[in-house]
Amino acid sequence: MKRTGLKVALLALSVAALTIWVDWPCVRNGFVDWDDYVYLNEVARHHELSLGTIQWAFSTVRPFYYHPLTRLSHVLDYQLWKWNPAGHHLTSVLLHGMNAGLVVILIWVLCGLRPTLSLSGWFVVAGAVGLVFGIHPLQVESVAWVAERKNLLCGCFTLISLIAYVRWTQKRSGRGWRWVMLASFLAALLSKPMAVSVPVVMLALDFYPLRRHISEGWRALYEEKMVMIGCCVAVSIVTLLPSMQEGGVTGLTRFGIMARSMVAARSLMFYLWKLFWPRWLSPYYPLEGAIPAVHAEYLTSAAAVVAISLIAVWQRNQAPALLSAWIIYVALILPVSGLAQTGAQAAGDRFMYLVMLAPLTLVVWLWVWAASRFRLLGRAALIAAAASELAFFGYSTRAQIAVWRNDETLWRETLTYFPNSALANYMMANALMRQQELEKALPYARQAVALSPDFARAHYRLACLYSRLNRTQEALAALRLAILYDNDYAPLAQRDDDLANLRNDPQLAEQFRQLVGL
């Protein structure tokens, strides 16, 4: 048993090391002006880990949501690295590598519960799932985007919690595992509210492979998780109420229940497709207009979700792993599926960070099971196909890391897929303006306001560009529209250096003062 444990540990370390090697180019990337600087500017004001900083982290909800451990993680990084992006990225790469090793351990302890494969088969399943988790291109967004540290931290503590839960349910293990499980679950919740799905994941594991519902009954299983469920409710309230007050959660008047259900169904199928064929990955998938609920893509996705659900329930006795994997997958993706729409994105690669584990484990287990029943030639073909897929994942991951190198590469890639996204055009204009490429930025800012005429930020950016280019009349007209759609830009314009030409132009100064309320 000790030798087996040592082999599993070496396998986990090997997967972690290979994951770090594949993701290492992230260290050469910079920050991106898409929440990175929001976090960094925030922690720069709390530049050391002190009692006051800890109080701030645990009492702050805005911006974003309640995730104090993530804020403290950024504070620690800032203490070590200040504004050097390499250090912040290094922390993320190492954390992701550790998570890949934890995945190996989790899959190993789960495989041992239902020994349908040989010992070597368990090793292959655990190693393959951990490796794919580590080097899959869908994971790049969580690793290469400093602002997504919350995803890595939440994933780490969730994996520890699930490992501890499985060990605790095995009667030979002490109750100390229960305290590890509860503490790490709470840490996951305090890193990112997405951990609210973990109790459902545990219940699904109780069904299979733990099979605890037979020996203990569902009521007892629910009751033992009541403390966790109560924590989930509290964090959900703390997260959703401020977001709803600030308009972060889109109201039902814009996207109704039917439209949201269609978006959620599409998300479930979209992520499965990207898991097994990760091409055309975009840093941003816009949801900026009406939802075409009768579109073939949405209808087909809804039909597929219903079909998979019915089959999983129908085959729950013959194939319990299918129902368990499907419940885990749906439970983990549901909070970010679009049912409670936040922001203008239809999907995000980062949302698959832990979600991929359930379907991936099922597929890898089937592959190993099939390979064990093939003769030498068939087994060699399956191994060659798997090796090719892993090489494809690694190559695609390296290419995707380059997309996150800086703001221009990020938004240029997005615009190759979504040229009619107002936000992507606006962000591209921002990136070029910071590089002093004013003439190049101007068409993107114009396109943003053309695509979304009430986009106040884009009108304001256009005003700044026109002012910097000494086209003051056009700058004043753009500023007038920005203030019309959002009056908060009036006080900002009074002190913005980009609009100095308007303040100093003798012919426009009076109009400018009237416009901004001076």
For the chain (518 residues), the mean pLDDT of every run of 10, in chain order, is 81 97 97 91 84 88 84 94 95 98 95 74 92 96 96 97 92 77 96 93 94 91 93 84 54 59 84 90 80 72 92 92 95 79 73 94 88 78 88 94 96 94 95 93 95 93 92 90 90 86 80 77
| pLDDT on residue 22 | 97
CB-side neighbour CA atoms (13 Å) of 477: 7
Q: Which domains does the chain have, with CATH numbers?
A: 2-403 (no CATH), 420-516 (1.25.40.10)
| pLDDT on residue 3 | 75
| pLDDT on residue 49 | 82
Tell me if 263 sits within 8 A of 341, measured CB to CB.
yes
Q: 404 Cβ partners below 8 Å, 6+ apart?
A: 26, 29, 32, 140, 141, 144, 145, 283, 410
- Cα–Cα distance for residue pair 243/62, rounded to 1 Å: 8
- Cα–Cα distance for residue pair 482/461, rounded to 1 Å: 9
| pLDDT on residue 176 | 85
Cα radius of gyration (the chain): 25
DSSP bridge partners of 249: 342
Q: 475 Cβ partners below 8 Å, 6+ apart?
A: 463, 464, 465, 466, 467, 499, 501, 502
Q: Is the dihedral of CA 171, 172, 175, 178 positive or negative?
A: negative
| pLDDT on residue 256 | 63
| pLDDT on residue 400 | 96
| pLDDT on residue 279 | 86
pTM beyond 0.85, yes or no: yes
H-type alpha helices, 289-421: 296-314, 320-333, 357-371, 376-403, 407-417
| pLDDT on residue 340 | 60
CA nearest neighbour of 397 among 171, 216, 141, 37: 141
- Cα–Cα distance for residue pair 426/429, rounded to 1 Å: 5
- Cα–Cα distance for residue pair 128/132, rounded to 1 Å: 6
- Cα–Cα distance for residue pair 94/515, rounded to 1 Å: 51
CA nearest neighbour of 167 among 112, 92, 213: 112
Structure tokens at 513: 């003062």
| Residue 421 amino acid letter | S
